[in-house]
Structure 1
Amino acid sequence: MIRIFLTGYMGAGKTTLGKAFARKLNIPFVDLDWYIEERFHKTVGELFTERGETGFRELERTMLHEVAEFEDVIISTGGGAPCFFDNMEFMNQVGKTVFLNVHPDVLFQRLCIAKQQRPILQGKQDEELKEFITQALEKRAPYYTQAHHIFNADELESYHEIEASVDRLQELLEL
């Protein structure tokens, strides 16, 4: 039975790498944020606004426990999911965890491109965005680094880089 949780900051490549890895292993891929949106017929942003951070994080935890019952699956968590409650400890107990570690400069480049799709980043100038990323990474590092494996995900910009990363991840996890 395979149950792998991909964790890391927004823009780390959890969905990109997770989908490609699941395809290679011929098992389902679940993006926790998408799962939540499907279940509640609202965006994560809407749920966050409606329930506040505490309410959203409680909901996220419940949904994490739900998807953790799936077998033979790759699960991409939201960037903040490992940092609340006992989520990281829980994921470590029920599956293999992988922290997709990405250099802040690479995250900055990726998030500049995706800024419009991420409400929390909208309106931030370049220097503000760099500072925002750096501070968030420092705050979340103690949680992310509890993962069973730390995987460099700096190179996910092309099909070939993604495929090479999938191969490296498969080797790391001995699958």
Structure 2
Amino acid sequence: MTETIFLIGMPGCGKSTLGRALAAALDYTFVDLDAQIEADEGRTIRDIFAQDGEVIFREIEARTLRKVAAQPHTIVATGGGTPCFHDNLAVIHAQGISLFLDTSLSTILARMEAAERAVRPLLAQEDLKAKLEELYTRRISYYAQADLRIPEADSDVSSVLQKLQERA
């Protein structure tokens, strides 16, 4: 397998954690899209949102996605909203295979602590559960277009590798 693998799903669903483990198992390069944006821009995602707003952030995100998408043997952990803007999902489908990490909102909510809210601008508000539900409702139609759906119960490396082999 040489194609780029894109992990999509809600914030806190485990894209970065699984992505690192998959990259190690496959001897692929791992790219966390948000971390790449921060490195390229020299500022945090939170600062980009605060200084420039979401529209500019989404343009930067789209540009960064296109830069990393063509790299073979790469696992890309996208931001939660990445597939929903600027035809990013079309780029993902053209450049590789997408995996939707379908994690329950209750699991995501349990993972989110106050410290994490500080680095996730769209979740930095009092009613985190309501915001997660609203984001999920807006984004599920994009996530559902992934090449493979990875249920929470099957989100370990060996299960994902098996699904990838079955698809090949």
The amino acid that maps onto 1:131 is: A
Give the equivalent residue in structure 1 for 2:123.
121
The amino acid that maps onto 2:133 is: T
How far does residue 2 in structure 1 lie from its aligned partner after superposition? 2.7
- The question of whether the paired residues in 1 share the 8 Å contact of 2:100 and 2:146 is answered with yes
Tell me, yes or no, if structure 1 residue 58 matches structure 2 residue 59: yes
Give the equivalent residue in structure 1 for 2:158.
167
CA distance in structure 1 between the partners assigned to 2:27 and 2:35 by the alignment: 20
- The question of whether the paired residues in 1 share the 8 Å contact of 2:123 and 2:132 is answered with no
How far does residue 167 in structure 1 lie from its aligned partner after superposition? 0.5
How far does residue 98 in structure 1 lie from its aligned partner after superposition? 0.5
CA deviation vs aligned residue, 1:100-154 (integer Å, no higher than 9, x gap): 1111111110113633443443451xxx211111111011001111110110135
Give the equivalent residue in structure 2 for 1:33.
34
Corresponding residue pairs, total: 164
Give the equivalent residue in structure 2 for 1:106.
107
CA distance in structure 1 between the partners assigned to 2:119 and 2:65 by the alignment: 23
Give the equivalent residue in structure 2 for 1:147.
146
Q: 1:98 to 1:115 in 2, by over 3 A?
A: same
CA distance in structure 2 between the partners assigned to 1:35 and 1:72 by the alignment: 17
TM-score by length of 2: 0.90
TM-score by length of 1: 0.87
Uncovered stretches (5+) of structure 2, i.e. residues with no partner: none
RMSD: 1.7
Give the equivalent residue in structure 1 for 2:17.
16
CA distance in structure 2 between the partners assigned to 1:171 and 1:84 by the alignment: 30
Identity of aligned residues (%): 35
The amino acid that maps onto 1:12 is: C
Give the equivalent residue in structure 2 for 1:133.
132
The amino acid that maps onto 1:130 is: K
Q: 1:129 to 1:108 in 2, by over 3 A?
A: same
CA distance in structure 1 between the partners assigned to 2:101 and 2:59 by the alignment: 24
How far does residue 45 in structure 1 lie from its aligned partner after superposition? 1.2
CA distance in structure 1 between the partners assigned to 2:8 and 2:88 by the alignment: 11
Uncovered stretches (5+) of structure 1, i.e. residues with no partner: 157-164
- The question of whether the paired residues in 2 share the 8 Å contact of 1:101 and 1:154 is answered with no
